[in-house]
Amino acid sequence: MNKLRHIKAAFTAVMLLAAAWSASAQEPFKRGLEQISFIPKGQWITGVSVNYSQSDQDNYQFLIVEKINGDTYSFKVSPTLMYCFKDNLAAGGKFSYTRSRTRLNEASVILDSETTYDADHLYAITSNYYGTAVFRNYISLGTGMRFGMFNEVQLELGGGQSKITNGSGTDFTGTFERNFSVNLGLTPGMVMFLNNYSAIEVNIGVLGFGYTDTKSTTDRIYVARRKSKHANFKINLFSVSFGAVFYL
């Protein structure tokens, strides 16, 4: 009788454990992270960033480069428009235009008293256009509505042209280039709201794939082509960007 009683108790314990395991297996696993509606559905997100820089050199000296005379400038404008189609999820696009010019009238590279290299009449100008499809996922920091983070996936298509000339008179030579590029990247960032409608954003590229195809023609005779591919799996400090964005 005692042996039968022990068998019944063991069987009952096994059945109870099986029932408890079955009940726990039916419940979905939850991490307990609280997520609020940081950017509600229906909001439009728009903004524009403009960068401009210029420098002039008059008999400037830098290390072994002396007698630098020339000027340079760069300009970039990038408007953005996105729509929040679901709470904390937004999609849209960006357009970018960049232009840069460098003009070097003269410069000398002096290695020692007997070794000197001179350069003059160097001119380069570049213009590029880029269109970018953007998908963004916002993440709130706690229950506050002022600070948040986002993950942004970008697919960029672009192209442009550049012209490089050197020398003057019978020694004049020039190269004309056209390029096409495709880039896919992941750029996490942080957003800080100044009020209900405006915010400051900062993002940085951490993952990216790119392809560039360039065709160059020198002196309208020599044609060359180069193709390049790259993949980045690290934080790119040169891709850090800041901007003011409006949430309407």
CA distances to 73, 79, 100, 110, 197 from 51, rounded to whole Å, are 11, 12, 11, 34, 23
C-alpha atoms less than 13 angstroms from C-alpha of 12 in its C-beta half-sphere: 6
Identity of the amino acid at 101: R
Phi, psi of 15 (to 5 degrees): -65, -40
Report strand pairing: 207-218 vs 173-193.
antiparallel
Of 133, 179, 176, nearest in space to 158 by CA: 179
Sign of the dihedral defined by the CA atoms of residues 22, 23, 27, 32, in that order: negative
Q: Which of 248, 38, 43 is nearest to 145 (CA)?
A: 38
Q: Give just the sign of the alpha carbon dihedral 103, 105, 110, 114.
A: positive
- Which string of b and e fits 181-194 if b means at least 16 CB within 10 Å? bebebebbbebebe
Task: Please report the pLDDT score of residue 146 as a whole number.
Answer: 80
Query: pLDDT value at position 127?
Result: 92
By the 10 Å C-beta count (0-12 exposed, 13-18 middle, 19+ buried), 110 is classed as middle
The model's pLDDT over 154-197, given as tens digits with 9 standing for 90+, comes to 899 999 999 888 877 777 788 888 999 998 888 888 888 888 88
- pLDDT value of residue 130: 92
The strand pairing partners of 89, in sequence order, are: 86, 137
pLDDT digits (tens, 9 = 90+) for 52-65: 787 777 777 766 67
Task: Give whole-number Cα distances, 234 to 135, 206, 237, 241, in Å.
Answer: 21, 5, 9, 16
Q: How far apart are CA 128 and CA 134, in angstroms?
A: 19
pLDDT at residue 23 in the model: 47
- Any alpha helices (H) in the chain, and if so which ranges? 2-26
**Alpha-carbon distance 232 to 239, whole Å?**
12
The whole-number pLDDT of residue 30 equals 62
Q: What percent of the chain has pLDDT over 90?
A: 9
Can you give the pLDDT at residue 12?
58
Q: What is the pLDDT of residue 131?
A: 92
Can you give the pLDDT of all 248 residues of the chain as single tens digits? 544 455 555 555 545 555 555 544 455 656 556 667 778 888 898 888 877 787 777 777 766 677 777 788 888 888 889 999 888 889 999 898 999 988 877 777 776 666 666 777 788 889 999 999 999 888 887 777 788 888 888 899 999 999 888 877 777 788 888 999 998 888 888 888 888 888 888 777 777 788 898 888 888 888 888 888 888 776 665 566 777 788 88
